[in-house]
Structure 1
């Protein structure tokens, strides 16, 4: 199992350490603590962080996000089988791809009316979101088939 220090997790997820601290204090992320008193985060934490950021992009409040995460945790703690968990992961990834596809379709006609700076900012935002979806997919593939 891969574990990340807070700085590593922040870099992988494209968020600040402060954001991770805030989510940890809210109970959205649960680090493991070792004798060294450092907090370590698992790959599940990375996926969860990406899920939180995705929900924020959908304009959900942190209270709504916390409710959804708690419902997911409850479902997983009630003996959800690994195959059901993978199904949840696949559903999440499908939703991410669908959201990205919708945003690209909406952005395409608008880009021609933008100046170079606006187009660059819009392109960067879509690129960052694409990278997040691809990272989530790669983490999922590694979890399902770590020897590929």
Structure 2
């Protein structure tokens, strides 16, 4: 029989979203997952250095992929973390009109946001995170992993 071990989790990469100064944790999450919202708050309160990666499965949460694309579109305007926090703070309002309201509150260009969330590069980023999470053995969200040390 072959070896069924998971791939090592990579540490922060240039395209990752990273914040905090404490112990390094890679968080695979979905913005429509209530447990992810709680984990994000706990990591922030605990001072962890968090690398956020998407684990958006439409089969688990119908808005997961759309929300991941929205967060990446906000990131293109330098607002990933404020958008991340806003999504997790109010998971009862995740449809498009509420996304646009969040953008307005954050001072983002809504037309650019709407165009950017449909960009192939945005979809590729979200898919890459998902594939890497699967290779690392992630099966559910939130998944909090320690990256491999080189």
- What is the TM-score of this pair, normalised by structure 2? 0.30
TM-score scaled by length of structure 1: 0.31
The structure with more helix, counted as a fraction of residues? 1
Say which structure is richer in strand: 2
Which gives a bigger RCO, structure 1 or 2 (Cα 8 Å, sep 6+)?
A: 2
